[in-house]
Amino acid sequence: MILRRLRRLRDRTRPDLHFPGLTRGQAGELRSALRRTLAEKGATVRYDGRHAVIEHPRHGRFTVNLENLIGDVAASQHPKAARSMARAFASSVLDAEHSETLGTADLYARLRLRVAPTTHLVPEEEEVITAATLHGFTQDTAVTLVLDTERSIQTMPLDRLRRHDDLDTLVRAARNNLRSELLDLTVHAQVHPGSEEHPGARFRSFESASYYTASAAILLAEILPAWAPDLDLSRGVLFAMPTRHILLVREVTTGEDLLEGLGRLAPVAAQVAVDGSHSVSPLLHLWHDGEITTLTSFNQEARELRITPTPYLLELMAGEDGAF
């Protein structure tokens, strides 16, 4: 029994993986304090890394970033910091701007398009995503509308938005806002080369702290020339959105070069999605002539990945000699 208590004590003093600067014990106290405070206000919460997904009867479902709260608690020496700061944070979040309190101009300015996963969701999540879905995007994602405020990102039911204006007008505003947000981002762009034996096994990654990095896939024709001016888009692009903060791309080429690229990027996308937080899609997709086609399927339990090239890609891989 004493050894068990010692092990529990050691576990509580180890660093928390998702709440940097806090031990597991401190992070647990903060999560519990925030959950209790939100419950008192009629809300429920689910934690997703450093974000909290809050469901409120009046405000609906929205996501808040906890990084500032975590940092404040970590910097405080007060023994009741988690409790008092969680209470203040919950009050500020629930009193913050939501769609029902915004004027039309403010609503327009805060709307964004976002790519959201449509598979492996709990029923409550599926209901929220379905209500906010504009259209399907890939086999396992959809384009949704969100409201981006200073403290929260709220997934917006389309029926609620129609009370403010016609949907086409709101979507245009959300698209323009997403474009501006992405073009203003500080993105870490990296080229991942192939090997000497397989030079075609190369791709590029774009990563940032933004909630919308992977949603750049909605605007590939407009964003990639800014993020990667030297990337050849003439034949199309292979792309993946493994997590919210990462976009993977590779130009479509021909012959063995293209075959090697497919063989490298598909498993990388699946692995990053499985290992990373805020997963969006483990699948690889093709963007060509404005059309998007999903090229892979992935069984996570069996770790089985299947690549199914389109006739267009097969023709390109056949190359001039008709073989690949």
Bridge partners, residue 237, by sequence? 251, 287
Q: What's the rounded mean pLDDT across residues 85-113?
A: 76
Q: What's the rounded mean pLDDT across residues 181-207?
A: 95
Q: 74: buried, middle or exposed (CB in 10 Å: 19+, 13-18, 0-12)?
A: middle
> In the chain, what's the furthest Cα-to-Cα distance?
73
Q: Identify the band that residue 19 occupies on the pLDDT scale cut at 50, 70 and 90.
A: confident
Ranges 138-142, 149-153, 230-234, 299-303: which has the least confidence:
149-153
Which residue did the predictor score with more confidence, 187 or 85?
A: 187
CB-side neighbour CA atoms (13 Å) of 234: 5
pLDDT, residue 88, reads 83
> Is residue 56 within 8 Å of 42, Cβ to Cβ?
yes
Distance CA 229, CA 239 (A): 16
The residue type of 291 is E
Q: 99: buried, middle or exposed (CB in 10 Å: 19+, 13-18, 0-12)?
A: buried
**DSSP designation for 276:** S
Q: 96: buried, middle or exposed (CB in 10 Å: 19+, 13-18, 0-12)?
A: middle
Q: Identify the band that residue 323 occupies on the pLDDT scale cut at 50, 70 and 90.
A: very low
> Is residue 127 within 8 Å of 189, Cβ to Cβ?
no
pLDDT digits (tens, 9 = 90+) for 22-57: 888 889 999 999 999 999 888 899 888 777 888 888
pTM of the entire predicted model: 0.78
